[in-house]
Amino acid sequence: MQKKIQKLESVLQYTFTDTTLLLMAMTHSSYAHERLEDTRFYNERLEFLGDAVLELAVSRMLYMTMSEQEGDLSKTRASIVCEPSLAYVARALDLGQFLRLSHGEEKNGGRERSSILSDFVEAIIGAIYLDGGYEPALSFIERELFTRLEEIHEHTGRDYKTDLQEKVQAQAETVRYDLIETAGPPHNRRFTMQAVVADKVLGQGIGKTKKEAEQQAAKAALEKL
């Protein structure tokens, strides 16, 4: 495992003082529940932190480089921090090989699943932030995300949530996403979300993450509209 950690550090161009943080970032919940005594040792908390650090970094970058107002800035930010963008970065760096997955998740193609890969990138950002602070986390984001923005936008799919929000904003409305159901074991959750506008359900979606389910709900709503 130490050799794998060192190899990942080389890919990330960052050496950890506390390699336990990187090991946690590498650990999917399915692995923890299948193989570890401490079933809480997996990357979702780091993902939560990394998401916030990433949003701050992207917000700062857009503020410094764009003259547009809040609405356009928010739309651009959403297109950068979305699941397809982060999964693209993960594939560009071949990060899937470093994930610790359960046998079932491995068999079901977890190393290539966009939701798992994008969460892994956020967890890595969170781990770097905790280990070294904001500056090394920002350096990673600038090097691996900002420099790829043009190719990311060429290769990633449509952001249905942003498109839906723009459509309903024209009618002075907003979109709300409600969680309808959570199914499956902790390592293989399936979420059902619904898109609600003016207290009317316009679409439902299912995904491995809430974000994925929200995108599918927004897609269904757009089709209905």
The residues assigned a catalytic role are 51, 122
Q: Position 174: which residue type?
A: T
Tell me the two tokens of residue 192.
């059902």
User: Residue 100: beta bridge partners?
Assistant: 27
| Pairing outcome for strands 175-183 and 200-207 | unpaired
